[in-house]
Homo-oligomer: A and B are copies of this chain.
């Protein structure tokens, strides 16, 4: 799947790229680049950044940006499943969640209304829930 996605764009599915995909598939949740390198110490930082950008462009990887210091990476939704994120404001941990299908449908319907209302064409959406994760819950 990832391979085809790259081939289609005349990109090679090199060892380094395959490795990135494997690691992203392994961790069930989005990871930062340092975390990624820790899981695959043989990868070089610059190539990792370069390949993640390239694969994001090819629709294999998704990059998540939040207030935190590092961006998080995960596999693109059409390689996995449409989902959203719980973001811990304390430690930066990101966890995946899925929403009830009916609720998702309601959202999409609402967004489609925007097409006419504002001339905006929705492509996709992201729903982030900020709060405290189980570990940080006790804190102020």
Contacts and interface: CB of A to CB of B under 8 A. Distances in A.
Interface of A: 63, 65-67, 86, 88-89, 95, 97, 99-100, 103, 106-107, 110-111, 114, 118-134, 137
B118 A122 contact: no
How many copies of this protein are present in the complex? 2
Query: Lowest 6 A-B CB distances belong to which pairs?
Result: A119-B134, A123-B131, A122-B131, A121-B132, A121-B131, A125-B129
Contacts of A132: 120-121, 123
Contact of A123 (B63, B122, B124, B130): B130
29 contacts: A63-B67, A65-B65, A65-B66, A86-B114, A86-B118, A86-B120, A88-B120, A89-B123, A95-B120, A99-B110, A100-B110, A106-B106, A107-B127, A118-B134, A119-B134, A119-B137, A120-B129, A120-B132, A121-B132, A122-B130, A123-B130, A123-B131, A123-B132, A124-B129, A124-B131, A125-B127, A125-B128, A125-B129, A126-B130
